[in-house]
Chain A
C-alpha cells in the first residue's frame, strides 16, 4: 500500500540523492523516500503474510466462529478460559513440554557427540560428516515413512528384531508412553543433520592452539571438553538450542504422519491441537486462542533462554 506509491517515486529520489551527495553528503532531505523505497517491498510481504495473520488470529481468538472461519459472537477471553481450565488442553501442554525438553536435550547432546567424533582428522572421516548431516535433505514425509517402518507394531523393524531375540515386543506407536518416545526419537533424528553441521562448524573454528596450550598446562581431554570446547562453542550451542526449541514447539509433520496425536492424545501437542480445532472441527476461534497461547509460550521460553543463558555464552 505504502510501497505502492513510493516505488514510482524512487527514480527521481535516487537522482536527487546522487546530486546532493555529490554536493556535500547532505542527504537527509530525501532520506524518508529513500528508506521507503528500500523498506516497501519487505514491509508489503511481511504485512500480508505475517502481521495481518497475527492480528487476525488475535481478533478471531476473541470470537466464536462459524464453520468457514467468520466471527459470529464476541466472547472476550472465554476461549482462553475454557482452554486453560480444560484437563485435555493441559495434558496437551504437559505432553508438549515433555516432547520439547526431550527433543532439545537429545538433539544437542547427540549433535555435539557426532560433531566431536568427526572433527578429528582421520582418513575417510568426510564420509561420516556427509552421512551425519544427510538428514538435512530428508523431507518430513520420507522420514515419517522410514520411522513408521522401524516403529510399526509387530511388523516394524524394531519389533522384528525384538522377536528374533525373544525380547518383549513393544507397541511403539500404540502405547501412549512409547509413542511419545518414538516421535521424540524421530524428531531428534530429523534435527540432527542441521545441528551436527552447525556444531561441527563451531568445533572447527576453535583454534587448535587452545588445545595445545591446555595439553601443555596438563588438562585432561575430558577437562578440555568441559573447560575449552564447550565454552568456545557456547554461542553456537545457544543459537542451536533456541532454534531447536522453537522448532520443537512447532513440530507438526512427523506427528501428523506417525501418530496423528494419538494414541489416546498422548502425542497431541499444542500445534496438533490447533490443527485439529481449525481444520478438522472448524472451531477457528478456539484454534486462534490456542495459536496465541503457543506463540506466547514460545516467546516466553525464548526470552527466558536469552535472559539466563545469553550472558554466560558471550565472550
Chain B
C-alpha cells in the first residue's frame, strides 16, 4: 500500500495557504514520520490524507488509486488519534470492534478479529473494561488494537505518544515499531518530537512554514540538513548557528574571532555556520588561549551542557565532561573537532566540512558534501 502526495496544498481561505505543494512518495511497509514545530501544518497534512478535511489542491494517490476526493472510509486506512478517540461508553472489545460492526461484518468474524487485535497488543485480559479503567499506556495500545482490527494496511498516527509520560513513551516507541514491522503496516506518523522521528522512522519529512523542508532517512536529515531550520531542529543539544563572513582572503570568519579555511571560493558575503555541540572539544585547562566564557552549566548525568559566549557575545553551546566541574564565569579554550556546516544568508546549505580546525590555523580537511 504505497501513498503518493502530489502537490498537496491546503487553504482555508482563498490563496491563504497553510500548506503548500507537498510532494512525497511513501513506500509500502514504510514508517514515515512527518515532523515539525507546532503549527507547521503536519496534523493538517495527516487529516488531508485521512480525508477528514478536504484537499484544496494537488492529488493524493493511495495504492495506485486516486483518493483525493474519496470519503475517509474508502481510503483503506485507519487512524490513531492523539486523544485516542475511544468511545467511553463501550468496553475494550466493543471499541475495537466498532468499525467492523458498523461495516456489518458477521459477529463471528468481528469477535475473531477483535481477539487477534487484542492479543497483538497484550490487552486480552482487559477486554471487558471500559477505557476509563485503563492506564495511559493501555489506552494507547488499545487505540492501536482498534486500528489493527480493521485490517487496513495504512495507519495514520497523530502524535500518539504525546499523552504518555517520558518513560512509557520510550517503551511504546519500540512496541509501536515492532508492531508495524510485524504487520507490515505503512505508517504515517506525525510528531513534533524529533527524537521520536529519528528513532522510529524509515523516512522523515520535515515541515516548516507551510513547506516541506527536507525528506530523507534519519541519518540524512541529521548529517546533511539542507537548511538551518532542519539543522537546528534535529539533534539534541541543538546545533550552534554562528554568524560568519567571508572576507577577501577566502577564509570564513566566525563571530569575528574564529577563522575557517574554505574548500572552494565563496562570494564575499554573510553566512551562517552550524556546529553541533559534540563537534566542539574543550581543551584541557591552561593548554591553550581561552576563547569562550562559560555562562551557565547544566548537569545531564553522563555529560554536562555548557552555555558559553565567544568574545563578541555570540552564544555557543558545548558538551563537556562532568568530572571537569566547569563553573559559570570560567574561561575555556574550545576547538572545532567535528563536522561544520556552512549555510548561505538565506539558510540554505552550501557545504559541509568533515573535520574541524582550531583558531584559524589550517588543519586537515576532507571531502565537502555540497547539498542540492
Contact = CB atoms under 8 A, between A and B. Distances in A.
Interface of A: 207, 209-210, 212-220, 223, 227-228, 231-232, 234, 315
Contacts of B72: 212, 215-216
Contacts of A315: 88-89, 130, 132
* A contacts with B: majority SS: helix
A215 to B, nearest CB: 5
Contact of B102 (A212, A217, A232): A217
Contacts of B132: 315
A207 B89 CA distance: 13
A25 B81 CA distance: 47
Given A217-B73, A218-B73, 17 more contacts: A209-B85, A210-B87, A212-B50, A213-B81, A213-B146, A215-B71, A216-B50, A216-B99, A217-B146, A218-B102, A219-B99, A219-B102, A219-B103, A227-B98, A232-B88, A315-B89, A315-B132
11 contacts: A207-B85, A209-B85, A212-B52, A212-B81, A212-B85, A214-B98, A217-B102, A217-B103, A219-B102, A220-B102, A232-B87
A213 B90 CA distance: 14
Given A207-B83, A212-B52, A212-B81, A218 B89 contact: no
A42 to B, nearest CB: 34
B81 A209 contact: yes
Contacts of A217: 73, 78, 98-99, 102-103, 146, 150
Contacts of A228: 87
B197 interface: no
A231 B89 CA distance: 7
B83 A209 contact: yes
Contact of A218 (B50, B79, B99, B146): B99
B77 interface: yes
* B contacts with A: majority SS: loop
Tell which of A207, A215, A217, A231 has the most Cβ of chain B within 10 Å: A217
- Which 8 pairs show the lowest CB-CB distances between chains A and B? A217-B99, A219-B102, A315-B89, A218-B73, A213-B85, A209-B85, A231-B89, A216-B72
Contacts of A227: 98, 102
A223 B104 CA distance: 11
Give the size category of B's interface with A.
Answer: 20 to 34
Contacts of A219: 73, 98-99, 102-103
Contacts of A232: 87-89
B334 to A, nearest CB: 49
A259 B81 CA distance: 56
Interface in B89-137: 89-90, 98-99, 102-103, 130, 132
A219 B105 CA distance: 12
A209 B99 CA distance: 14
A66 to B, nearest CB: 57
A22 B3 CA distance: 68
A180 B313 CA distance: 87
A213 B79 contact: yes
A46 B77 CA distance: 60
A228 B87 CA distance: 8
Nearest to B74: A218
Tell which of A216, A219, A227 has the most Cβ of chain B within 10 Å: A216
Contacts of B52: 212, 215-216
Interface string B238-278: 00000000000000000000000000000000000000000
A248 to B, nearest CB: 28
